[in-house]
Structure 1
Amino acid sequence: MTILNSQDQTLLVELGTEELPPKSLKKLTDSFVNAFTQEIKKLGFSFDSVIPFGAPRRLGVSLTHCQRTQADTIVEKRGPAVSVAFDEAGEPTKAALGWARGNGIDISQAERLITDKGEWLLHKATQKGQSLDSQLEGAIERALKQLPIPKPMRWGSSDVEFIRPAHTLCAMYGSEIIDIEILGIQSSNIISGHRFHGESEIRLTHADNYAETLKHQYVLADYQTRMQAIEQQLLSQSEELGLKPDYDNDLLEEISSLVEWPVVLQAKFENDFLDVPKEALIYTMKDDQKYVPLLDENNELSSTFLFVSNIESKEPQQVIEGNQKVIRPRLSDAKFFFETDKKTSLASKAEALSTILFQKELGSIAEKSTRVAQITAILGELTGTESEHVMHAKRAAVLAKADLVSNMVMEFPSVQGIMGAHYALHDGEHPSVSLAIKEQYLPRFAGDDLPTSQAGMLLSLAEKLDTLVGIFGINKIPKGDKDPFALRRSAIGILRIMLAFNVNVNLSRIISAVAELYENKLSNPLVEQQIVEFLIDRLKPFYADKGISADIVASVVECEAQQSLSDINQRIVAVSNFANSSNAESLVKANKRVANILAKNKINLDELTEINSGLFTESAEKALYGEFEKLVQTVPNLAKNNNYQEILDQLSLLKTSLDAFFDEVMIMADDERVKQNRISLVAQVRKLFLSVADISVLNF
Structure 2
Amino acid sequence: MSTILFELGCEELPPKSLKPLRDALQTSVTEQLSAAEITFDSVKAFAAPRRLAIQIEGISDKQPDRTEQKRGPAIKAAFDSDGNPTRAAMGFAKGLGIEASELTTINTDKGDYVGFEQTISGQATTELLPAIFQTALDSLPIAKRMRSGASRNEFVRPVQWVVLMQDDTVIDATIQGHQTGLQTRGHRFHSPDYHDIAHANDYEQLLDGLKVVADFDKRQMLIKNQVKALADEVNSDAIVPQDLLDEVTALVDFPIALRASFEARFLQVPQEALISTMQADQKYFCLTDKTGKLQPYFIFITNIESKDPNQIIEGNEKVVRPRLADAEFFFLQDQKQPLFALTESLKTRVFQDKLGTIWEKSERIAKLAAFIATLMQQQGHDINVDDTVRAGILSKADLASSLVGEYPELQGIAGTYYARLNEEPEAVAASLEEQYLPKFSGDVLPQTPVGICLALADRLDTLVGIFAIDQAPTGSKDPFSLRRSAIGILRILIEKQLPINLVALVEQAIKGYSDAEGSKIAKMGDTFTQVMAFLNSRYRAMYTEQGVSVDTIQAVQAINPHMPLDFDQRIRAVQAFSELSQASMLADSNKRVANILAKSEVDVADTVDEALLSETAEQNLYANVQQAQTVVQPLLEQADYTQVLQTLASLDEPLTQFFDNVMVNSDDEALKNNRLALLKQVRALFLTVADISELQL
Establish whether residue 465 from structure 1 lines up as the match of residue 460 from structure 2.
Answer: yes
Alignment TM-score, normalising by the size of structure 1? 0.93
Please give the alpha-carbon distance, in whole angstroms, between the structure 2 residues aligned to 1:608 and 1:73. Answer: 73
- The residue that corresponds to 1:579 in the other structure is 578
What's 1:632 paired with? 629
Which whole-Å CA distance do the structure 2 matches of 1:470 and 1:454 have between them?
A: 24
1:517 equivalenced with 2:492 (yes/no):
no
**1:162 partnered with 2:155:** yes
Contact 1:136 1:180 in 2 (8 A): no
CA change 1:603–1:537 in 2 (3 A) is: farther
Provide the rounded CA distance (Å) in 1 between the counterparts of 2:238 and 2:550: 39
- Which residue of 481, 485, 488 maps to 2:483? 488
Cα distance in 1, alignment partners of residues 56 and 470 from structure 2: 50
Separation in structure 2 between the aligned mates of residue 288 and residue 199 of structure 1, nearest angstrom? 28
Report the alpha carbon displacement of residue 271 of structure 1 after superposing the two structures with TM.
0.8
Spell out, residue by residue over 1:459-518, the C-alpha distance to the aligned partner (whole angstroms, 9 max, x if none). 111111222222233333333332222222222222211112223233233223323433
Q: Which moved more, 1:571-580 or 1:146-155?
A: 146-155
Letter in 2 for 1:548: V
Q: CA deviation at 1:383?
A: 4.2
Measure the CA separation in 2 of the matches of 1:598 and 1:260: 73
TM-superposition CA deviations, 1:162-187 (whole Å, max 9, x none) = 11111111222333322222221111
CA distance in 2, matches of 1:482, 1:63: 42
SS of corresponding position for 1:503: coil
1:641 aligned partner: 638
Listed as ranges, the matches of 1:428-467 within 5 Å are 428-467=423-462
Unaligned runs of 5+ in 1: 1-6
Aligned residues: 690
Asked if 1:622 is matched to 2:639, the reply is no
Shift of 1:421: 1.0
- 3-state SS of paired residue (1:257): helix
| Preserved CA contact (<8 Å) 1:474 1:523 | no
Quote how far apart the aligned CAs of 1:124 are: 2.6
AA in 2 matched with 1:215: D
Pairwise CA distance, 1:673: 4.1
Q: For the residues of structure 2 that align with 1:221 and 1:683, how far apart are their CA atoms? A: 71
Deviation digits for residues 439-463 of structure 1, max 9, x if unmatched? 1111111222211101111111111
Separation of aligned partners in 2, 1:42 and 1:17: 29
Report Cα offsets for 1:177-236 as digits up to 9, x if no partner.
222222211111222222222353222223233222222222222222222221122222
Q: Secondary structure at the match of 1:642?
A: coil
Task: Supply the distance in 2 between the matched residues of 1:317 and 1:333 (Cα, whole angstroms).
Answer: 25
Matches within 5 A, 1:543-622: 543-560=543-560, 562-599=561-598, 601-602=599-600, 607-608=604-605, 610-622=607-619
Task: State the match for 1:238 in structure 2.
Answer: 231
Structure 2 residue 473 is the aligned partner of structure 1 residue 474: no
CA pair 517-145 structure 1, distance change in 2 beyond 3 A: farther
- Whether contact under 8 Å (2:26, 2:45) holds in the other structure is yes
In 2: Cα distance, 1:144 partner to 1:346 partner: 54
Q: Helix, strand or coil: the match of 1:485?
A: coil
Residue 108 of structure 1 is matched in structure 2 by: 101
- 1:639·1:647 contact (CA, 8 Å) conserved in 2? yes
Distance 1:200 1:533 in 2: 65
Match of 1:420 in 2: 415
Letter in 2 for 1:640: E
**CA–CA distance in structure 1, aligned partners of residues 472 and 126 of structure 2:** 51
Residues 266 and 113 (structure 1), Cα distance of their counterparts in 2 relative to 1, 3 Å cut: same
Cα gap change, 1:92/1:668 in structure 2, threshold over 3 Å: closer, same or farther?
A: farther
Work out the CA distance in 2 between the residues paired with 1:620 and 1:347: 74
Partner of 1:654: 651
Residue 28 in 1 paired to residue 32 in 2?
no
Deviates more, 1:114-123 or 1:618-627: 114-123
Q: Contact 1:421–1:438 (CA<8 Å) still a contact in 2?
A: yes
SS at match of 1:20: coil
Cα distance in 1 between the residues matched to 2:579 and 2:258: 54
Give, in whole Å, the separation in 1 of the partners of 2:526 and 2:615: 51
Distance 1:522 1:194, change over 3 A: farther
What residue identity is the alignment partner of 2:194?
E
Match of 1:324 in 2: 317
Compared CA separation, residues 200 and 659, structure 1 to 2 (3 A)? farther
Cα RMSD between the aligned structures?
2.4
Identity of aligned residues (%): 42
How far apart, CA to CA, are the structure 2 residues paired with 1:71 and 1:470?
65
The yes-or-no answer on 1:693 pairing with 2:673 is no
- The answer (yes or no) to whether the contact 1:475–1:523 under 8 Å persists in 2 is no
Where does 1:69-218 land on structure 2 (aligned, <5 Å)? 69-218=62-211
Give the letter for the 1:468 counterpart: L
Q: Does 1:502 align with 2:497?
A: yes
**Correspondence for 2:674:** 677
Shift of 1:289: 0.9
Q: Quote the Cα distance in structure 1 between the aligned partners of 2:131 and 2:696.
A: 47
The answer to whether the 8 A contact 1:39-1:139 is kept is yes
The change in CA–CA distance for 1:178 and 1:471 in structure 2 (over 3 A counts) is: farther
1:568 CA displacement: 0.1
Q: Which residue identity does 2:589 align to in structure 1?
A: A
Say if 2:126 and 2:171, in contact at 8 Å, map to a contact too. Answer: yes
Cα distance in 2 for partners of 1:593, 1:482 equals 41
Amino acid at match of 1:377: A
Q: What is the one-letter code of the residue matched to 1:534?
A: F
Deviation at 1:422, TM superposition (A): 0.9
Specify which of 320, 339, 362 is matched with residue 346 of structure 1. Answer: 339
Matches of 1:223 and 1:439 in 2, distance apart?
Answer: 37
Structure 2: 5+ residue stretches without partners: 514-518
Q: 460-469 or 58-67: which moved more?
A: 58-67
- CA shift at 1:603, angstroms? 6.8
- Which residue does the alignment assign to 1:3? none
* Alpha-carbon distance in 2 for matches of 1:291, 1:284: 9
Equivalent of residue 390 in structure 2, options 385, 389, 395 = 395
Q: Following TM superposition, by how much is the alpha carbon of 1:637 offset from its aligned partner in structure 2, in angstroms?
A: 4.1
Report the Cα distance in structure 1 between the residues aligned to 2:80 and 2:498, rounded to whole angstroms.
85
- What is the distance in 2 between the residues matched to 1:165 and 1:316? 32
CA distance in 2, matches of 1:38, 1:635: 58
- Give CA-to-partner distance per residue, 1:662-694, whole Å, 9 cap, x none: 444444555454444334323321221111012
Q: 1:414: Cα distance to partner? A: 1.1
Deviation for aligned residue 1:572: 0.9
SS of 2:63's equivalent in the other structure is coil
Q: Partner amino acid for 1:594?
A: V
Q: Provide the residue aligned with 2:42 in structure 1.
A: 49
Would you say the 8 A contact 1:15–1:59 is kept in 2?
A: yes
* TM superposition score normalised by structure 2: 0.93
Separation in structure 1 between the aligned mates of residue 296 and residue 347 of structure 2, nearest angstrom: 39
SS of residue in 2 equivalent to 1:480 = coil
Query: What SS does structure 1 have at the residue aligned with 2:347?
Result: helix
Partner of 1:362: 355
Is contact 2:604–2:676 with CA below 8 Å preserved after alignment? no
Report the Cα offset of residue 584 of structure 1.
2.7
CA distances 1:238-266 after superposition (whole Å, capped 9, x unpaired): 22321111122112111111112211111
Structure 1 distance, partners of 2:386, 2:25, is 55
The 1:603/1:64 distance shift into structure 2, 3 A limit, reads farther
Map of 2:516 onto structure 1: none
Displacement after TM superposition at 1:418 (Å)? 0.5
Asked if the contact 1:555/1:696 (under 8 Å) is kept, the reply is yes
In the alignment, what sits opposite 1:250?
A: 243
